[in-house]
Amino acid sequence: EVQLVESGGGLVKPGSSLKLSCVASGFTFSSYGMHWIRQAPKKGLEWIALIYYDSSNKYYADSVKGRFTISRDNSKNTLYLEMNSLRSEDTAMYYCAKATTVALWGQGTLVTVSS
């Protein structure tokens, strides 16, 4: 079964850091670009980062540029999102998604930034 499973979310204080993971299965992970996309409570979808299949290119939304870092380990079929200097407005469900066409989504991991 083709699947993406996120983890690493939680409740953190403003200014702190957190690292999310997304484990892929059922497809050749190393052949696909991968995204992180987030959804604030009761809000729409916001793309935040993409990494190419071979890590050769990375793109970020302006809202997270300089604070978040996307990376991957193809030997572990795992995508990461390192989040620093977290703000209350980063509170959201974070999804990983497969391929530049955003074909498949994980179930999400919730990040809450609050004092």
Partner 1 sequence: NTVMTQSPTSMFTSVGDRVTMSCKASQNVGINVGWYQQKTGQSPKRLIYWASNRDTGVPDRFTGSGSGTDFTLTISNMQAEDPAIYYCLQHNSYPPWTFGGGTKLELK
Please give the size of the binding site for partner 1, defined by CB under 8 A. Answer: 20
Give the one residue of 59, 69, 74, 110 binding partner 1; rule: CB under 8 A: 59
CB 76 within 8 A of CB 22: no
Of the ranges 18-26, 38-46, 67-75, 77-85, which one interacts with partner 1 (CB under 8 A)? 38-46
Residue 95 engages partner 1 in binding (rule: CB under 8 A): yes
Distance of alpha carbon 7 from alpha carbon 5, whole angstroms: 7
Task: Choose between 23 and 45: whose C-beta lies nearer to partner 1.
Answer: 45
Q: Give dist(CA 23, CA 84) in Å, integer.
A: 21
- Which of residues 27, 47, 52, 53 is near partner 1 by CB under 8 A? 47
Contacts of 66 (CB under 8 A, 6+ apart): none
Interface with partner 1, residue 61, by CB under 8 A: yes
Question: Of 20-28, 55-63, 67-75, 77-85, which segment contacts partner 1 by CB under 8 A?
Answer: 55-63
Tell me the HSE value of 28 on the side-chain side, using a 13 A CA sphere.
5
Whether residue 26 contacts residue 106, with contact meaning beta carbons closer than 8 Å, is answered with no
- If one asks whether residue 66 binds partner 1 (CB under 8 A), the answer comes out as no
Rg (CA), the chain: 13
Q: Which residues bind partner 1 (CB under 8 A)?
A: 35, 44-47, 50, 59-62, 95, 100-108
